[in-house]
Each structure stands twice: as C-alpha cells, then as structure tokens.
Structure 1
Amino acid sequence: MSRRSSLTVTAAFAVSLAAVAGFAPTAAAGPLDLAWTALPPLFQEQEQARTQDRLTVTVADTNITRADGTYELKCGPTGGTHPEARSACTRLDEFAGEGKDPFAPVPEGQMCTMQMGGPATARVTGTWQGRSVDATFSRKNGCEISRWQNLVPVLPAARG
C-alpha cells in the first residue's frame, strides 16, 4: 500500500472513530490527532461502568477455615476485603465478556440431580455491570452446586 493510500485509510478511520465518539475536530487537527483524541472518551465510559462493580459477599457453613464471613469486593480498581479479590474480579470479567449473568437463579422447572453438596450458603448483593445484584447461593442440589462452582473464586470452593 502506498504512503498516500495509507494516510487516506488512517484519516478515514480517524474521522469515523471521531464521529462515533462525538468528537468535533478543530481545523488544525490532523488525521492521527483525531484518532488519539477520540479514544479517551470511549475508554472513560468503559472505566466508569467498571467502577460500579461493588459487591458484598456473605458466606456461611463452608467447612473451610477462614472462608465464612462477609467480604467487600471492588473491581475497577480491584480492592475490598475479599481474600481473592484479583481472581474474583477476573472471573467476573470473564462472565461479562461472555455476556453471561453469574447471579441468575436456576431457571424455574430445571431438572437437577438430587445430591447434597453441603450446608454452605452465600448471598451476594451490590452492583455489577451497572445493575443491582441480590443473589443467594446454596449447595442443595446439582444445579445449585454447579452455579456455586461457576462463581469460584467470588465464592469459596466449599466442601461438602
């Protein structure tokens, strides 16, 4: 590709990116200036949504020393009192990237194996991906055990 074609493509990309971001160029802005000035607002919006991830995780009867209790989990930036905050935020990011809701209850009428995974219970409240969360977890059947295990390390890997 020639240098002129390359600049034309770059300019076209920058203008379209600027239009999406709502950037109004000045007369002195060059094609590369448009691209770099349009990007920060996009990233700021994503970071603002990310800073809303604040969860309270309350866990009981896990049969694991020091796993029971109430923890704050903050993602974006990672923080709080959760013992595995970084790994827990990474796991939640995976769900978000897949477009899945890790806090959704087992669907009504779902067939589940009749097995008991132990007495562990958990409740997660707060905000994730800009929406309110109030979910309860148990290990009373195969569906609930699977739901719990999918959320490890947000929830501890409980033993039966």
Structure 2
Amino acid sequence: MLRRLVLTLSVSAAALAGAVPVAAASPFPFPLPLPLLSSPDTQDRLTVTVAETGNARTEGRFELECGPSGGTHPSADAACARLDELAQEGRDPFAPVPEGQMCTQQMGGSETAHITGTWRGRQVDATFSRTNGCEISRWQTIEPVLPNTRS
C-alpha cells in the first residue's frame, strides 16, 4: 500500500512538473496562490478589534502593520512574525472553519474578534470567537495577533 502511495505521488508530481511552462517554472512542486508569493516588502495593514475578554489590556481596536511592523498593536513584532510563519507554512490564518467540520462542543469563553484590512495583497474580513473546539483552535493559531485569553 505504501509503495502504491509513493508511486502515485511521484507520478503526480512528475506530471505537474511537466505541465509548468519553462518560462514560468517555480521552485515549488505545485502552484501556490499568488498572495502567498507576494513580496515581504509589501506593507500589510490590519485592524484588529477584540471584545469580551474581561481584560481592558487585551480589549479594543488595534492597528497592525507588517513590513515593517508597527501600529498600535501591543505585540506588533510578534504578531507579524506569526503571520509570516503561517504564510511560510502555506496556511491562511484568516480562513474560516470549513463547512461541515466536526468540532468539540466546548465553550472557550465569550471573547470575539474581527480583523479587517489587507494581508499579502488580499482583502481580509475575518471574525473569530471561542465558541467551540474549532474556533478555539483557530484563535490560538493566530496568537499573538489575537490576545492569549487563557491566562
């Protein structure tokens, strides 16, 4: 079974590599969305609004700028570094929980967040909460863009 999987993956990768025109050849074995390939020199600007944390230090509206990092976000350097790390992994930190995803029914808190702006050349309009296991995980994945509310 493992041999079949390895063979299938090898043949698929070879077919994909052969389908890419030489002039547009990429160092990646598969096509990546253009926002993930955008230059790190482009300045990303996000507005992060956090509510219902029960802590005045972590609630409010913050501006986050990356490339270089700045704005009013209390952890701008760390937040930009986390967004860069997720982009390097090919992950979209603002993607919603997939439709039909099974999630544990646990309440992580009443915290909510809304992030708008531009990241990697695309518009962002994402809402976060801690209402079930999937949403809690999604929130924690993007920390410190969103505050750690567990402490």
TM-score w.r.t. length of structure 2: 0.72
Q: Taking every aligned residue pair, what percent have the same amino acid on both sides?
A: 67
| Partner deviation per Cα, 1:86-108 (whole Å, 9 max, x = no partner) | 00000000011111100000000
* Equivalent position amino acid for 2:56 in 1: T
The whole-number CA distance in structure 2 between the counterparts of 1:87 and 1:154 is 8
The whole-number CA distance in structure 2 between the counterparts of 1:46 and 1:123 is 25
Deviation at 1:46, TM superposition (A): 2.2
Aligned ranges for residues 4-153 of structure 1 at < 5 Å?
Answer: 46-48=39-41, 50-51=42-43, 53-153=44-144
| Partner deviation per Cα, 1:60-110 (whole Å, 9 max, x = no partner) | 011223100000000011110000000000000001111110000000000
Structure 1 runs not aligned, ≥5 long? 1-18, 21-44
Q: CA RMSD in A?
A: 1.8
SS in 1 for 2:134: helix
TM-score w.r.t. length of structure 1: 0.68
Deviation at 1:159, TM superposition (A): 3.5
The whole-number CA distance in structure 2 between the counterparts of 1:47 and 1:141 is 33
- Displaced runs of 4 or more, over 3 A: none
CA contact (8 A) 1:62 1:159 kept: no
* Equivalent position amino acid for 2:143 in 1: V
The whole-number CA distance in structure 2 between the counterparts of 1:100 and 1:147 is 12
Deviation at 1:47, TM superposition (A): 4.5
The whole-number CA distance in structure 2 between the counterparts of 1:100 and 1:46 is 16
Aligned length: 116
Q: Which has a greater percent of helix?
A: 1
